[in-house]
Structure 1
Amino acid sequence: MNVKKRHAFKAFWGLNASQASHHEKLVSALGGFLSILLILLVSRSFLELSASVALVASMGASAVLLFAVPHGPLSQPWPLLGGNLISAFIGVTCAQLIDPPILAASTAVGLAILAMYYFKCIHPPGGATALTAAIGGESIHALGYQFVITPVLLNVLCILMIAIIFNAFFHWRRYPAALQHSTYSPPDTPSNENLSHEDFIHALKEIDSFVDINEHDLKRIFELANLNANATHLDPDDIQLGEVYSNGKLGKNWSMRQVIDESRSDNPAKDYVIFKQIAGQEKKTSDCITRAEFARWAQYPMIKENGLWHRKSAPNQSTSGAE
């Protein structure tokens, strides 16, 4: 298997290069061990063994996030607290109001996902918490909404406390992520926009903690951030009849529009332009929208020179590369 096929095979199956040292992996495992040990002791005080094991399954998933991916957005305190408590409440409600249990369980998980989205606390183990509350057995159903407090809230507070204290012993993995302050000072050299795949792999390994992003997405983020930093944000008054504008996006999302007609008005709500798409794959090939809406879409004007489209230069600036 050649190098290109090997990379394609790994990408298909999600076999990314290891981002953490052996020491970091052992630290993560130790944190998971301590947190689940305490949670099992707490759960056993309120539930019979079989029921406590069912609930701790979701806490085990939370432990993976808090100790293996401590800086990830899904691992932070609000997703942990909100994701589990809201899901537990939904699971208990579905168990009490919906029959048969199969429908109650599936409804609980679906509603938990929806609620976590709107409350900005997406935490994958929350789905397991909702499922446990819905079909966890008689000992869990007998608790009713008390289940949300004991053992769910108690377990969540236990694992949160352990995560904060345990991770504090390791300077490179503070928890919550807001406590992680970078000490890196970039040198006074221009940024290199031609970074290689290996450069991003090296950067991820230098962090020495599992980062919930692969090198391809990281490079994409870097490109988009640079693009946005260099973008010219247009005002409605900048949009002129006959001019061509680009949305400034990358790859297949890039497109150009030309203003072919307008209906000017001092009232921004009635100041319309009509455009046609001259490049790109956006669904709207033509439309009539306000000048302000068009300005929010457009990033910069374009000009055609020697048969090629270029970003139009501001006065006293050189023209940028062709699109």
Structure 2
Amino acid sequence: MSPKFYAVLGKSDTLSIAGKRQGIWQLIEPQNLPDGWLISLCNKPAIFPPSPAPIFWDCSAIRYSRLNFPQIGKSLVTPLFCINQYLDLQAKPGDFITCPDHILLPGSNLELRREFNLNCAKEFIVLAKSHLPLCRPLATIHGVTILEKVRNAATLYELGYRAIAIGGLAINASQKHRNITAIRAIRETLPPSCHLHVFGLCSPDYVQAFAQMGINSFDGSSWLRESFLGFFYEARGNKLIKHRVTQILSINLAIPLCHCQICSTLRNLRVETRSMGSRTANLGRAIHNLGELIKIHQQTIYSQMIHRTRPK
């Protein structure tokens, strides 16, 4: 089975076109849609993808990672708090619901965070089975060393989790060899039937490794962040080209004209995604970037599948 991509959805990822507010999923060609959407408790979108789009409900650990005690707004983040949030958001059967966790940041009280993570994992799975029995409870692996991560994975499996995520790697995404080594060690520790998700890594290099190792799913928001930093993606062959846009399109003709749904729609409204400008132009570029990234994901995974089926 190929790894599934959950695109991170923000609270303002909508566009008004011809007076109609639309979610970004309505502005991407069907073949370029992600496999599902990751929605964070601290970034609830204005409108939600319609059923049956799979949703990965995230507890927002990255947002409160620098706080001594996990908190969203004025609420302490606890297993019961998260369960109530998922209930309010109407998490549906098959959706992933994430146990609250605290990232092991350097300089923080690591022992306190380890204790928090373990206690939450024990309590959350009981609450999830009681209140959201048709959803898929998921706990997150943390560790300062690869050995600690591997042991943590085994502990979570023993607690009854059959969906487990690897967290804390996106902060050091450039350390690909180290991250892939850790992911492989964890995958080899858990039974193949255990769903393994990787948080925050979605570049094509990582996706190739995920397909090789049997990672079940992953997520990412780089396509969104980089669009607002002025990058325009182009899927060229099996490569993802990142063009730098400028304030004035006429001086950057190296960026090819794009005929995807969002670029064509906005161009008809005299909004150009190949240049910096309004929020509409920037978010339009993000939607374009997501489609181009998924094209490369699909090619990367397909190439890996072909490679694995060739006789040796």
What's the TM-score, normalizing by structure 1?
0.23
Q: Which has the higher strand share?
A: 2
Structure whose alpha-carbon radius of gyration is higher: 1
- State the structure with bigger RCO (CA 8 A, min sep 6), 1 or 2: 2
